[in-house]
């Protein structure tokens, strides 16, 4: 038998009335309007550009600025929040499978097929959409890392600005159009983010870092898994006769493709740079030995 603490945890993560009765609504859900979406993204981009320009004028040197415990606190909060969303989504998905198993038997749908392809007519309400909403809100906290990087290193990365903006936009579309595949996307992303931000917290408090680009490799794994799942959604759409929110899924696929291309470009440049540094180091040692 499960302990009372596990029952309590399951209740607060999947059976609480506010979770079971959740409904995405423009009048009841904070941040659920198109005007809020475009305004918040515009303010985010503008604030990042203005802050970067101001700091370049204020500080002529490029030495890192100390921010105290702020980076570590942000990483810890993102790691804990991602782990909570992951656990809540897992428990809520299991509860939805349990409650609708009778319907799936009649429609010849398996749980994995449902994770890839919501039936036509699915509404953004219930347990999994509650955690999708929390995930959407967490993207704003995730974007705060941009300002930490700008203040600390005076670096403004187009890829990071674009990536954070697109993640906010895509998570909004998931809810607005009850888009298929979002449950798997949330599970994959929050699982990787809990590991990545846990690692960032580990290094931020002064503990040793990995001997390879840990964060970049984790992001590469996430993008690869997303690509495989997108192919699965496309197959399910034709096999099952349609997936809910497929129009939004197509748009999201284009945005994910743009992110993948930008990241691959960054990954290749980073690999070539590391290779060049290693070759130069070997040449220097050879020259020293010859002399």
Has residue 286 got a pLDDT over 70?
Answer: no
Give CA angle at 67 (63, 71), nearest 5°. Answer: 115
In contact, 13 and 91? CB cutoff 8 Å: yes
Q: What confidence score (pLDDT) does residue 261 get?
A: 82
Predicted pLDDT at 27: 87
209 secondary structure, DSSP code: P
Task: Tell me the CA distances in angstroms from 96 to 32, 65, 137, one per residue in order.
Answer: 24, 48, 22
- Supply the mean pLDDT for the chain: 85
Looking at residue 275, its pLDDT comes to: 62
Q: What is the pLDDT of residues 262-283, one digit of tens each?
A: 777 777 776 666 665 544 453 4
**Confidence bin at 285 (pLDDT 50/70/90):** very low
Q: What is the domain range of residue 208?
A: 4-290
| pTM of the predicted model over 0.85 | yes
CA dihedral sign, ordered 145, 147, 150, 152:
negative
Instruction: Give the mean model confidence (pLDDT) for residues 21-34.
Output: 92
Higher-pLDDT residue of 182 and 102 is 182
Rounded CA-CA distance 46/42 in Å is 6
Whole-number pLDDT of residue 57: 86
Where do the DSSP E strands lie in the chain? none
Give the helix, strand, coil percentages of the chain, each rounded to 5: 75, 0, 20
Q: Could you give phi then psi for residue 125, rounded to 5 degrees? A: -145, 155
Mean predicted confidence (pLDDT) in 62-86: 91
Query: What's the rounded Cα separation, in Å, for the pair 51 and 187?
Result: 33
Residue-wise pLDDT for 189-209, tens only, equals 999 999 999 999 998 888 887
- Count helices and strands in the chain by DSSP H and E runs: 11, 0
Band (pLDDT 50/70/90 cuts) for residue 107 is: low
Average pLDDT of span 56-85? 89
The C-alpha atoms of residue 202 and residue 217 are separated, in whole angstroms, by 17
Q: List pLDDT tens digits, range 117-142.
A: 888 888 999 999 999 999 999 999 99
The tally of domains found in the chain comes to 1
Calpha distance 99→284 (Å, rounded)? 66
- Picking from 85, 96, 177, 197, the residue whose alpha carbon sits closest to that of residue 137 is 85
Q: Is the pLDDT of residue 230 over 60?
A: yes
Tell me phi and psi for residue 23, to 5 degrees. -145, 125
CB 71 within 8 A of CB 148: yes
Is the pLDDT score of 287 beyond 50? Answer: no
Per-residue pLDDT reduced to its tens digit, 33-67: 999 999 999 999 999 999 999 988 887 777 778 88
């Amino acid at each position: 038998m499960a302990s009372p603490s596990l029952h309590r945890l399951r209740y607060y993560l999947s059976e609480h009335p506010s979770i079971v009765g959740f409904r995405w609504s423009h009048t009841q859900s904070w941040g659920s309007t198109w005007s809020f979406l475009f305004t918040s993204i515009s303010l985010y981009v503008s604030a990042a550009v203005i802050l970067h320009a101001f700091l370049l004028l204020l500080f002529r040197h490029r030495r890192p600025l100390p921010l105290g415990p702020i980076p570590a606190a942000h990483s810890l909060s993102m790691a804990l929040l991602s782990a909570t969303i992951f656990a809540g989504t897992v428990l809520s998905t299991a509860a939805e499978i349990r409650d609708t198993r009778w319907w799936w038997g009649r429609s010849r749908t398996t749980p994995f097929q449902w994770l890839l392809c919501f039936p036509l007519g699915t509404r953004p309400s219930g347990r999994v959409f509650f955690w999708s909403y929390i995930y959407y809100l967490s993207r704003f906290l995730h974007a705060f890392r941009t300002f930490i990087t700008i203040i600390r290193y005076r670096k403004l990365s187009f890829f990071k600005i674009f990536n954070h903006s697109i993640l906010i936009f895509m998570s909004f579309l998931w809810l607005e159009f009850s888009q298929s595949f979002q449950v798997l996307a949330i599970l994959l992303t929050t699982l990787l983010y809990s590991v990545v931000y846990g690692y960032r917290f580990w290094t931020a408090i002064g503990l040793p870092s990995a001997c390879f680009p840990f964060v970049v490799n984790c992001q590469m794994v996430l993008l690869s898994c997303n690509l495989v799942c997108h192919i699965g959604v496309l197959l399910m759409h034709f096999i099952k006769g349609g997936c809910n929110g497929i129009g939004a899924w197509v748009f999201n696929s284009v945005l994910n493709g743009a992110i993948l291309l930008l990241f691959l470009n960054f990954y290749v440049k980073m690999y070539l740079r590391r290779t060049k540094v290693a070759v130069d180091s070997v040449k220097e040692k050879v020259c020293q030995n010859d002399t």
